[in-house]
Chain A
């Protein structure tokens, strides 16, 4: 026992004449703590197992079985309709504006660009003081954008067409994390931002004051992605992380409502099913999965033996019938959400697909890649 030898050594060296009570107590506490930590961990593991058993009890049918009644999808043709060139380095993130045609994109070299992707014109550009801008978001009003990355912050830039104004001048520093910013999203207004970080937490911020409104603790490692629930009484969001967990949070209380742990590797992307009753995830384990919130379990896995690279980004078509997933093998796979089969594979990008979002009216989706370009597919 380590503390025994240490105390003997102390006695021997005559540094102390008798064994101090506090040292003894601390030493025994240390031992006690180790035992309790291990037993707590074991208890947690065994409870998780029991929880899975409970969840399995009500699982009386598989999704693809139920979906046998649904008509199979016909020929599927989607092509690149626009290619947006202008980033000088890997594109890491993008988001659509509510006007259905504008987008904001961010890249490794710190550049954040706002495009009218219909005309492919660049409308705004700002260079962040950091590299690897892994998160960006468009404000609901269309008047501002948010972004961040290795600077551990999330900053909001009002969009201005005033030629005399430098966009960077009106920059507002909102969120402060202790590790990289991996994702950000405005809530229903321009005045609140939700962030996810490599420091293992998510947080809700007031844009104007930069005040932290709520923080969300529970992930065991970096949080890589988040998505806000579309539900009518919306006050929840889902996050995914390097601990292979997807967690659903109550925005008001900061509590984790539900947690799912079935992936074998980091979860890079989470996205709600349009009804709000489920969400999909994309992971480094090369699978995408569907989790139902009412059944409280995973209900589908979208995978293929020939797909061995991680899925970096997922999103649903408007009806939720199709799941578009961008992968690290440069492709985009289109999945039939109900039947579980792959509908199509889209080639075009020349490096990893890092980000993918369907447009607000569902007419197209945009993919961003490490090949420096963004593509609009329809």
Chain B
């Protein structure tokens, strides 16, 4: 089977769970009590039984699912496009119209999941019938397909034509109403399974999943042994009561909603809505005066302060005053190790040792003796996680000790006092005149002045650095 075409040999309901659900929807639509009220529909001079109007369908969906008309029309359209309902008038286009246009339910024989996948032979017979009936006047793409099939399955062509003739003969025996219905049913089926060029192919899936030949997974004894071991460990794990966890969401929500531009808007305005990039300029990684919201956010938790480049600079200033700036530098160096290039590991570990851990080091960090012992032992065989324990210790020190003091400090209080609240952008007098959208320098542009190579390397060396923006 080609990629993009229907997956052959598999169960359609497995691959497209939506089909099963759509079918259940269809069945409930036809429920004698709660379903759509069907009646006879007049198609020119013929009367077609068990039909409904487009309006009926839309109304039923609105009532059943409590959705809007727009959503109902959208859903109804999808049902029609998948061939579960077909139009009687203009059967060549699988579209739902929310008016008096007549529609019918597709027979389960022709359901997408029943006859899966559509066979070349069936398609050939269908086209042959059409060809005979229209005396060679097929639509362009059907003509092309007909010719293609004629070449491809030429050996069975006699059978194809015979079947086509047989089916046409049997059709002549039926009443006109039935004939029209069967034609529409068949046509709808083929519109779904062999869409004309330009029309969307609803059966297209994307690359095949569970293509087991090249998978590394084997559901063998080892797999189940691992599952069993995982379950045993998981059973022993400590869990937190739901009530406590869920309270956490409420607290987080309360704290962060005012900072969520989609929920609470942003001042001066959302750049995407007003085309004004002042919001970005005022919140650039390094500005002279940060906004009030930003400074407040540094007070939420230590991570917020540390991860904001401006916040981190302020933290460094504060730590310098407390003579513990080496802690932050050490933490940054450890980050560089953890996320750095594999080939630089030995180099970085050595540099960290020399600067922070060696006896008499210029920026010696105060780690507890046990951790220090373990770390010094570990760096004999350096790897990227060798500083993890030490890094965690220093991180916790900053978080539990320095951070609370930072929040109470004059430095932070001044930052809060001096922080700006941007005024809301005045609504433009002529809103239909779009503001010019200026481009910004790409972070990928190498800095013009100085050693570009070194700067480039520096950029990739510092994992937390965010590209500078024009203020």
* Partner-B contacts on A (CB < 8 A): 33, 36-37, 40-41, 43-44, 47-48, 50-51, 54-55, 58-63, 66-67, 69-70, 73, 78, 81-82, 97-102, 116, 118-119, 121, 123-124, 131-132, 134, 140-144, 149-150, 158-161, 178-180, 187-192, 198-201, 206-209, 211, 213, 217-222, 224, 232-233, 242, 252, 256, 258-259, 264-266, 273-275, 277-278, 284-286, 292, 294-297, 299, 304-306, 308-310, 317-322, 328-331, 337-338, 345, 347, 350-351, 358, 361-365, 376, 378
The answer to whether B263 and A306 have CB atoms under 8 Å apart is no
Q: How far is the CA of A78 from the CA of B246 in the complex (A)?
A: 28
Chain B residues with CB under 8 A of A98 = 443, 466-467
B362 within 8 A of A: no
428-453 of chain B: CB within 8 A of chain A: 437-440, 442-445
Q: How far is the CA of A51 from the CA of B253 in the complex (A)?
A: 30
Chain A residues with CB under 8 A of B272 = 81-82, 118, 363-364, 376, 378
The answer to whether A161 and B250 have CB atoms under 8 Å apart is no
Pick 22 A–B contacts, CB within 8 A, sort by A: A40-B221, A40-B228, A41-B224, A47-B228, A50-B231, A67-B249, A97-B443, A99-B466, A198-B215, A200-B216, A217-B217, A220-B223, A294-B240, A295-B246, A306-B71, A308-B21, A317-B262, A318-B256, A318-B259, A319-B259, A347-B74, A364-B272
Chain B residues with CB under 8 A of A149 = 207
B121 within 8 A of A: no
Q: How far is the CA of A219 from the CA of B219 in the complex (A)?
A: 10
The answer to whether B226 and A160 have CB atoms under 8 Å apart is no
Contact of A119 among B206, B230, B439 (CB under 8 A): B439
The answer to whether B17 and A99 have CB atoms under 8 Å apart is no
The answer to whether A363 and B279 have CB atoms under 8 Å apart is yes
Work out how many contacts link A and B, with CB atoms closer than 8 A: 332
Beta-carbon nearest neighbor of B65 in chain A:
A306
B235 within 8 A of A: yes
Q: How far is the CA of A346 from the CA of B158 in the complex (A)?
A: 52
The answer to whether B277 and A118 have CB atoms under 8 Å apart is yes
The answer to whether B339 and A134 have CB atoms under 8 Å apart is no
The answer to whether A192 and B339 have CB atoms under 8 Å apart is yes
The answer to whether B215 and A199 have CB atoms under 8 Å apart is yes
Query: Contacts A98-B467, A345-B71, A378-B273: A188 and B252 contacting too (C-beta < 8 A)?
Result: no
Given A143-B460, A363-B270; 10 other pairs, CB 8 A cutoff: A44-B224, A54-B235, A142-B467, A178-B216, A198-B214, A208-B342, A211-B342, A221-B217, A306-B67, A318-B256
The answer to whether B209 and A266 have CB atoms under 8 Å apart is yes
B358 within 8 A of A: no
The answer to whether A67 and B250 have CB atoms under 8 Å apart is yes
The answer to whether A66 and B250 have CB atoms under 8 Å apart is yes
* Partner-A contacts on B (CB < 8 A): 3, 17-18, 21-22, 25, 61, 64-65, 67-68, 70-71, 74-75, 78, 200, 206-207, 209-211, 214-217, 219-221, 223-228, 230-232, 234-235, 237, 239-250, 252-253, 256-257, 259-263, 266, 270-273, 277, 279-280, 283, 301-303, 306, 335, 338-343, 384-385, 388, 392, 395, 437-440, 442-445, 456, 459-460, 463-467, 469
Closest chain-A Cβ to B123's Cβ sits at a distance in Å of 24
Q: How far is the CA of A284 from the CA of B209 in the complex (A)?
A: 13
Chain B residues with CB under 8 A of A158 = 444
Beta-carbon nearest neighbor of B241 in chain A:
A58
Beta-carbon nearest neighbor of B78 in chain A:
A329
Beta-carbon nearest neighbor of B466 in chain A:
A98
Q: How far is the CA of A190 from the CA of B295 in the complex (A)?
A: 28
Query: Contacts A159-B444, A295-B240: A318 and B230 contacting too (C-beta < 8 A)?
Result: no
Q: How far is the CA of A265 from the CA of B20 in the complex (A)?
A: 13
The answer to whether A294 and B440 have CB atoms under 8 Å apart is no
Contact of A189 among B206, B270, B279, B340 (CB under 8 A): B340
The answer to whether A188 and B335 have CB atoms under 8 Å apart is yes
Q: How far is the CA of A190 from the CA of B457 in the complex (A)?
A: 11
Closest chain-B Cβ to A359's Cβ sits at a distance in Å of 8
Query: Contacts A179-B215, A189-B339, A363-B272: A264 and B442 contacting too (C-beta < 8 A)?
Result: no
Closest chain-A Cβ to B45's Cβ sits at a distance in Å of 38
Beta-carbon nearest neighbor of B255 in chain A:
A319
The answer to whether A51 and B207 have CB atoms under 8 Å apart is no
Chain A residues with CB under 8 A of B259 = 318-319, 362
Q: How far is the CA of A285 from the CA of B228 in the complex (A)?
A: 27
Beta-carbon nearest neighbor of B75 in chain A:
A306
The answer to whether A142 and B442 have CB atoms under 8 Å apart is yes
Chain B residues with CB under 8 A of A278 = 249
Q: How far is the CA of A350 from the CA of B199 in the complex (A)?
A: 11
Closest chain-B Cβ to A113's Cβ sits at a distance in Å of 14
Closest chain-B Cβ to A81's Cβ sits at a distance in Å of 4
Contact of A161 among B444, B460, B467 (CB under 8 A): B444
Closest CB pairs A-B (n = 3): A142-B443, A200-B217, A189-B463
Closest chain-B Cβ to A335's Cβ sits at a distance in Å of 13
The answer to whether A296 and B234 have CB atoms under 8 Å apart is yes
Chain B residues with CB under 8 A of A101 = 271, 280, 440
The answer to whether A310 and B18 have CB atoms under 8 Å apart is yes
The answer to whether A220 and B217 have CB atoms under 8 Å apart is yes
Q: How far is the CA of A149 from the CA of B3 in the complex (A)?
A: 13
Chain B residues with CB under 8 A of A150 = 3, 207
Q: How far is the CA of A101 from the CA of B339 in the complex (A)?
A: 25
The answer to whether B303 and A141 have CB atoms under 8 Å apart is no
Closest chain-A Cβ to B471's Cβ sits at a distance in Å of 14
The answer to whether A206 and B226 have CB atoms under 8 Å apart is no
The answer to whether B340 and A191 have CB atoms under 8 Å apart is yes
Closest chain-A Cβ to B440's Cβ sits at a distance in Å of 7
Chain A residues with CB under 8 A of B220 = 37
Query: Contacts A58-B242, A119-B439: A286 and B18 contacting too (C-beta < 8 A)?
Result: yes
